[in-house]
């Protein structure tokens, strides 16, 4: 399905008028040559189909909308661009999901790590590793030693 063809067909006032006639089931049995060209353009664009001599609208718009919906990120992925944090979530549940994902990427469950190395790992996902690290500690996803020299999950 070519969206360019769809827009081009609907940009033409004659073709757009004919599309409205198809939708309203008001296509005459003997269309003029101008109307026939419009019908052909609509069919080429995938907007209508010939059903035994009757022109019917297709489900092209429903398909396009469904296609776009599949590409919409869900959960923590809504806050990422190219695998990095693009913006910080405002809702606690979204923050928690994002923090859990970052920690899964940065630190194994039984691993102990120093602050510098943890920051380096977090920097792969965010420009502000200290903010992420503090959120992880505050949310209980990380614990640190009294002196703050070592972190673990």
Give the pLDDT confidence of 114-153 residue by residue, as tens digits: 999 999 999 999 999 998 999 899 988 899 999 888 999 8
Query: Would the pLDDT of 70 be above 80?
Result: no
Per-residue pLDDT averaged across 92-118, rounded?
A: 91
φ, ψ at 112 (rounded to 5°): -105, 140
Name the burial class of residue 100, with classes exposed (0-12), middle (13-18) and buried (19+) by CB atoms within 10 angstroms of its CB: middle
pTM of the model: 0.54
Task: Parse the chain into domains and list their residue ranges.
Answer: 3-68, 75-152
CATH architecture of 75-152: Orthogonal Bundle (1.10)
Query: Would the pLDDT of 1 be above 70?
Result: no
Query: Would the pLDDT of 69 be above 70?
Result: no
The model's pLDDT over 3-47, given as tens digits with 9 standing for 90+, comes to 888 999 999 999 999 999 999 999 988 889 999 999 999 999 999
In contact, 65 and 51? CB cutoff 8 Å: no
- Name which of 66, 62, 43, 64 is nearest 54 in CA terms: 43
Pairing of strands 150-152, 143-144: antiparallel
User: For residue 124, what are its two tokens?
Assistant: 């792969």
CATH topology of domain 3-68: Arc Repressor Mutant, subunit A (1.10.10)
User: For residue 100, what are its two tokens?
Assistant: 């859990």
The model's pLDDT over 36-63, given as tens digits with 9 standing for 90+, comes to 999 999 999 999 999 888 898 898 888 8
User: For residue 130, what are its two tokens?
Assistant: 């200290």
Q: Residue 25: CB partners within 8 Å, gap ≥ 6?
A: none
Q: What is the pLDDT, as a whole number, of residue 75?
A: 87
In contact, 122 and 133? CB cutoff 8 Å: yes
């Amino acid at each position: 399905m070519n969206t360019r063809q769809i827009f081009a067909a609907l940009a033409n006032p004659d073709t757009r008028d004919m599309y409205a006639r198809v939708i309203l089931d008001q296509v005459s049995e003997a269309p003029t040559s101008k109307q026939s060209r419009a019908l052909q353009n609509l069919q080429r664009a995938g907007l209508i189909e010939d059903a035994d001599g009757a022109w019917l609208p297709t489900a092209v718009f429903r398909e396009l909308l469904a296609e776009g919906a599949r590409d919409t990120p869900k959960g923590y992925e809504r806050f990422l661009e190219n695998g990095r944090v693009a913006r910080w979530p405002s809702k606690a549940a979204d923050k928690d999901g994002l923090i859990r994902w970052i920690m899964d990427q940065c630190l194994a469950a039984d691993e102990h790590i120093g602050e510098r190395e943890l920051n380096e790992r977090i920097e792969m996902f965010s420009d502000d590793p200290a903010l992420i690290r503090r959120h992880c500690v505050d949310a209980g996803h990380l614990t640190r030693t009294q002196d703050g020299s070592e972190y673990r999950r």
